[in-house]
Structure 1
Amino acid sequence: MKNIRNFCIIAHIDHGKSTLADRLLEYTKTISAREAQAQLLDNMDLERERGITIKSHAIQMEYKVGGENYIFNLIDTPGHVDFSYEVSRSIAACEGALLIVDASQGIQAQTISNLYLALEHDLHIIPILNKMDLPGAMPEEVKDQIVDLIGCDRDEIIPASGKTGLGVDKIIEAIVERIPAPLGDPNGPLQALIFDSVFNSFRGIIAYFKVLNGEIRKNDKVKFVATGKEYIADEVGTLKLNQEPKDVIKTGDVGYIISGIKEAREVKVGDTITKIDNPGEAIIGFEEVKPMVFAGIYPVDTEDFEELREAMHKLQLNDASIVFEPESSAALGFGFRCGFLGMLHMEIIQERLEREFGMTVITTVPNVSYKAYLTKDTEEVIVNNPSDLPDPSKIDFVEEPYIKANIITKADFVGPVLSLCIQKRGTIVNQSYLTSDRVELVFEMPMGEIVFDFYDKLKTISKGYASFDYHQIGYRQSDLVRMDIRLNGDPVDALSSLIHRSNAYNFGKKICEKLKELLPRQQFEIAIQASIGAKVIARETVKAMRKDVTAKCYGGDISRKRKLLEKQKEGKKRMRQVGSVEIPQSAFMAVLKLD
């Protein structure tokens, strides 16, 4: 056990952690030159194209240092803020972490938030300055930032380059010397922490775990504590590039278990595996993954509803954090109400539906879940969809989720970033200078304001220099109203939204103006109205196309023309009563891009 080292890599997006992981695998001869490829641990096409890690991976390396054989378990973590719960469980399975900072960009927001997670779990941090081969590297400045952040000595920071392989030998030495061996009782009852799971179409769900106490053998009868389900361990083993079956996985080591589980919902990240005959305690820190952002996903053609259902079920096998339930909309037909971890997660699911299943889908306006408290018996109603909001006369008050946002930017952009956040109903909590040129701003703001277009705007006003990270801090009371969009008096359910009363007038006016441009003209007049309850707050009118019925009258009495015009007027009136308005697909998309 004293020769096992478990570590993870903490870095902001695009600071080169997948590339550095490749170099470590090559240096320890875990992969041969024939198997080597860029971003080896990212096995989805989407991950490679975007250069992000979506699913965390684990791999075991063996290497001889100073005449002794060591086992290194690298537990890779996704970098993006949407997957922060997975990151926290991966960190809980480690004793040390490599903190990778890009020498040309310096410290960014997600590095800081994941670093605090690691420090909470008492991990030993090894600071690494990556991308030293770049002409724009600023090693001395960035070293100062790292020293200020974690309070280490300047000599402890290892200069490295994932591209050229510089400093990989020093990193291996540092892992052996500085990261402590895992602690645990080899003879105690089994306690194993699940930090990830993957789906295999032949073997079912495979869970990845780290043994904290005891050991797990092949054919043991095991129990998953949080779900209470019991299984037989058909196969256990370690994770090399491919899975290698073993008879036993001992304390401190990382491995996988296959037990013929068919449902992704039965394996929860953060759960504890223990034996049935000698059960151990559950490991603390387990949470259910909660979706934050909700949106409707509808097939473009209503006939594809069953295919979409199949595709969603298959996706859920690979990604247990997506939740969905069927719903129907008068405008879009049958579809699903889906819950996602965040905006990136939503984008990825949409992209995977198109790529892996060939489904083109319509996504409605994303929103977060609110809590409405009723006057009569103070019970709370959870509102995931604006149309579920109870009648305003019955509501006592509504609460919405708030987040704490960390934004790191250059000093020149503090003004625009402040005004953007205040416009989004944020309040500033703290402002601190990391260096003379870099500022960390901490805001508290409603989650509903950032799901829309906040990130894009932040990147625009800071010329790409701001990095953003957030976590939820609970619910707060807010003055929210439901705004409906009506066409000829009929509400369009897919366009209704929950919005703060102060923003409702502007937002309603904008939507009405946008729809006026996009709706095709009919033979009759179309009234577009934004309303809160029965009160109309904005209106636009799409004028009717008019056929010139008096063209055939030349000369003659005016009463002949009047008779034709009266007849036309009657027809228009009748047409407006029975005519229905088709909303084009572009109108739903336009609401997402109002500015």
Structure 2
Amino acid sequence: MSTELTRNFSIIAHIDHGKTTLSDRLLEHTKTVSQREQQDQHLDAMDLERERGITIKSHPVTMEYTAKDGVTYQLNLLDTPGHVDFSYEVSRSLAACEGALLIVDAAQGVEAQTMANLHLAHEQDLAIIPVINKIDLPSCDLPKVNKQLEDIICIPAEEAIPASAKNGIGIEDILEAVVERVPAPVEDADGLLRASVFDSVYDNFRGVVSYVRVVSGSMKRGTRIKLFHTTKTYEIKEVGVFTPGMSKRDELKAGDVGYVIANMKSADEVKIGDTITDNTHPCPKPLDGFKEIQPMVFSGIYPVESSDFEALKLAMGKLQINDAAFTWQSESSVALGFGFRCGFLGLLHMEIIQERLRREFNMDIISTYPSVIYEVTKTNGEELLIDNPCMLPESQEVQEIREPIVRVYIMIPSDYIGEIMKLVMEKRGEMEHTETIDETRVMLTCTLPLSEILIDFNDKLKSMTRGYGSMDYEHAGYKPGKLVKMEILIASEPVDAFASIVHQDKAAPYGRQLCKKLKEVIPQQLFVVALQAAIGGKIIARESISAMRKNVTAKCYGGDISRKRKLLEKQKKGKAKMKAIGKVNIPQDAFIKVLKND
């Protein structure tokens, strides 16, 4: 189909505003999916996506729609992940489009992620079509949402399309708006092949399947192609489109969105955002916007049973084939045995990988406390990147430690502004500015260390605002801080699994909390065991596990007191000797209990 009759668009929305339901209705209305094949969340392929109601992988689909003017158009929908961890993938998918449907919940209004995704769409100069979804809800407030669209997003309210994806209201109007308002793709005059890769998956039988948007030129079976950033060349084996299953085509032309199968063996051979061009007549420069995806959060993953190490290694290799953003390397810990140091895009990405290891590969795993990458300048001028606290040099060798900072956008009802500001200050954050959205809600912009929002920030935000608060964040560089390495000593022996890099002011309370937890889970020994939190040579917290005591005086009934004292003195000497030579064997389940609580 000609480029004038092609429309490429995406759907952007906050979580639970009805993005996936709307894509289901569009597939149904354009008869892309027959009634027999129709199911809810059609474009979500993983069980995890269906259960959690979130989109983890991008799913493009090509639809044919006959408009009211009688002309048949080819509509390419690029369904995108909604979570902040996958924002680079969202930006690449948006770069492959000319327009976007911006969905706003008629009851909840504009949320933090709506704004974040809208900024990404504006950066790509997309035509925005606002859709007010869920107008059938009793709690819907159309005048309020229309006012928010005008005040916050600066879009005239009359441009918004009222709809209900669940009941199929307004679907025809949305499709007509896509045809009218989304511009047709524009091809470069030189006609050289340029195709942008916005996602890739691994097929066990055919290798890597790259999802592409052809910007100019055309590609077909037998074409020799080159990737700009890896400089490798391949021969195309098959091209096609998604309807929504993979459907083979003779060629993909400018403006088309589809897939390419070349002889690629692993997902890291093709990078998201890379440019595909013809090997014989390459285009002079790649398309804009490519960057290497860097992991932001690191955690150690160990098998609970050490005999499962090889099986876990195999499982991780298979997962990485499908998810190039997930990185891992072998490491060993005195306490936990052999395992892996893994890098993730964020906390949700980490949760998903761990859940997939448990479900898809039946692995019983334990993960260590998540950490971030720190930039360290040593006194001799050497620069280091540290993702594992055990690798941090001694304090006398460290000149400065810089931690990653994020800019957080928090949308909350104005009643809770005091509590949330207090939470931000507790997490070592700084307020940049506050913005009033309407008479009931405000948006706070603040900067926080990434390590502070990793664990419980979002949970606390939700519970403090009764579920009405929402947040989104973006990375804002590195900042020096008073950071120290805290070690946990058990019977004067450091345990690497519990080592962490913490802020100096928070080290003592965190150390006390960890020592208390350990006191509950480590069994009693025949001597007193000291649990200590230490920074360098300084002890900042301590708990003691009292010794198991045998009643050596039980056989003395009556008689002289000196006999009892003699037996107790003998026991005391024995315990002192035991303390000097005794070792504490920490059971595996003690680690599991403490680290899982974290």
Greater shift, 505-514 or 57-66, is seen at 505-514
Aligned pairs for 1:520-531 (under 5 A) are 520-531=523-534
1:161 alignment partner AA:
S
SS at match of 1:188: coil
Return the alpha-carbon distance in structure 2 between the equivalents of residues 445 and 553 of structure 1.
65
CA distance in 2, matches of 1:30, 1:225: 34
| Correspondence for 2:365 | 361
Contact 1:483–1:496 (CA under 8 A) maintained in structure 2: yes
How far, CA to CA, are the matches of 1:585 and 1:429 in structure 2? 44
Q: Which of 20, 23, 29 does residue 22 from structure 2 map onto? A: 20
- 1:164 corresponds, among 167, 170, 178, to 167
Tell whether 2:44 aligns with 1:39: no
Matched, 1:254 2:285: no
CA contact (8 A) 1:511 1:591 kept: no
Match of 1:568 in 2: 571
- Does 2:89 align with 1:80? no
1:30-179 equivalences in 2 (<5 Å): 30-65=32-67, 66-179=69-182
Which stretch has the larger CA shift, 150-159 or 314-323? 150-159
Contact persistence 1:186–1:215 (CA under 8 A): no
Cα deviations by residue, 1:80-129 (Å, 9 ceiling, x for unpaired): 01100100000100000000011111111111001001001100000000
Quote how far apart the aligned CAs of 1:579 are: 2.8
Aligned residue among 276, 279, 283 for 1:276 = 279
Query: Residue 9 of structure 1: SS of its match in structure 2?
Result: strand
Correspondent of 1:315 among 302, 313, 319: 319
| Distance change (3 Å), C-alpha of 1:589 and 1:411 | farther
Kept after mapping to 1: 8 A contact 2:202/2:266: no
Segment of structure 1 superposing worse, 483-492 or 447-456: 447-456
Q: Find 1:374's aligned residue among 371, 378, 382.
A: 378
Aligned equivalent of 1:517: 520
Pick from 393, 397, 401 the counterpart of residue 400 of structure 2: 397
Q: CA deviation at 1:461?
A: 1.1
Q: Does residue 501 of structure 1 match 2:481?
A: no
Secondary structure of the residue aligned to 2:172 is helix
Q: Does 1:485 align with 2:488?
A: yes
- Are 2:202 and 1:202 equivalent residues in the alignment? no
Residue 133 of structure 1 and its aligned partner are, at CA, apart by 1.1
Residue aligning to 1:328: 332
Residue of structure 2 equivalent to 1:447? 450
CA contact (8 A) 1:519 1:584 kept: no
Alignment of 1:461 onto 2:464? yes
Give deviations 1:574-593, integer Å, cap 9, x for gaps.
33222323145355544564
- Mark the runs of 5 or more structure 1 residues left unpaired by the alignment: none
CA deviation after TM superposition for structure 1 residue 454, in Å: 1.1
Pairwise CA distance, 1:186: 6.6
Counterpart of 1:352 (choices 322, 339, 356) is 356
User: What code does the residue aligned with 1:397 have?
Assistant: E
Q: Pick the aligned partner of 2:536 from 526, 533, 537.
A: 533
In 2, Cα distance between the equivalents of 1:186 and 1:438?
A: 48
User: Is residue 96–residue 179 contact of structure 1 (8 Å, CA) maintained in 2?
Assistant: yes
Offset at residue 303 of structure 1 (A): 0.9
Separation in 1, partners of 2:538, 2:475: 34
Whether 1:387 and 2:393 are equivalent positions in the alignment is no
In structure 2, how many angstroms separate the alpha carbons of the residues matched to 1:7 and 1:381? 43
- Give how far 1:551 is off: 0.3
Aligned mates of 1:503, 1:458 — CA distance in 2: 20
Q: Secondary structure at the match of 2:4?
A: coil
Paired-residue identity, %: 52
User: Is contact 1:452–1:592 with CA below 8 Å preserved after alignment?
Assistant: no
Shift of 1:33: 0.3
Q: Secondary structure at the match of 1:233?
A: strand
In structure 2, distance between residues paired with 1:402 and 1:592: 26
Q: Name the CA shift for 1:593/1:465 in 2 (closer, same or farther; >3 Å).
A: farther
User: CA offsets per residue over residues 192-220 of structure 1, 9 Å max, x none?
Assistant: 00001111111111001001111112110
How big is each residue's C-alpha offset from its partner over 1:138-164, in whole Å with a ceiling of 9 and x where there is no partner? 111111111223322221110111110
Q: Does the CA contact (< 8 Å) of 1:16 and 1:130 recur in 2?
A: yes
Contact 1:194 1:271 in 2 (8 A): yes
* Cα-to-partner distance string for 1:209-250 (whole Å, 9 max, x where unaligned): 001111112110001111111100000111112212112111
Contact 1:297/1:335 (<8 A) preserved: yes
For 1:260 and 1:355, locate their aligned partners in 2 and report how far apart those are by CA, in whole Å: 30
> Which amino acid counterpart does residue 58 of structure 2 have in structure 1?
S
C-alpha distance in structure 2 between counterparts of 1:589 and 1:77, whole Å: 37
What pairs up with 1:260-299 in 2 under 5 angstroms?
A: 260-280=263-283, 281-299=285-303
| Matched AA of 1:57 | H
2:241 corresponds to 1:238: yes
SS at match of 1:149: helix
Give the CA deviation at 1:420.
0.5
Does 1:341 pair with 2:358? no
Q: Given that residues 518 and 590 in structure 2 are in contact (C-alpha distance below 8 angstroms), is that contact kept between their aligned partners in structure 1?
A: no
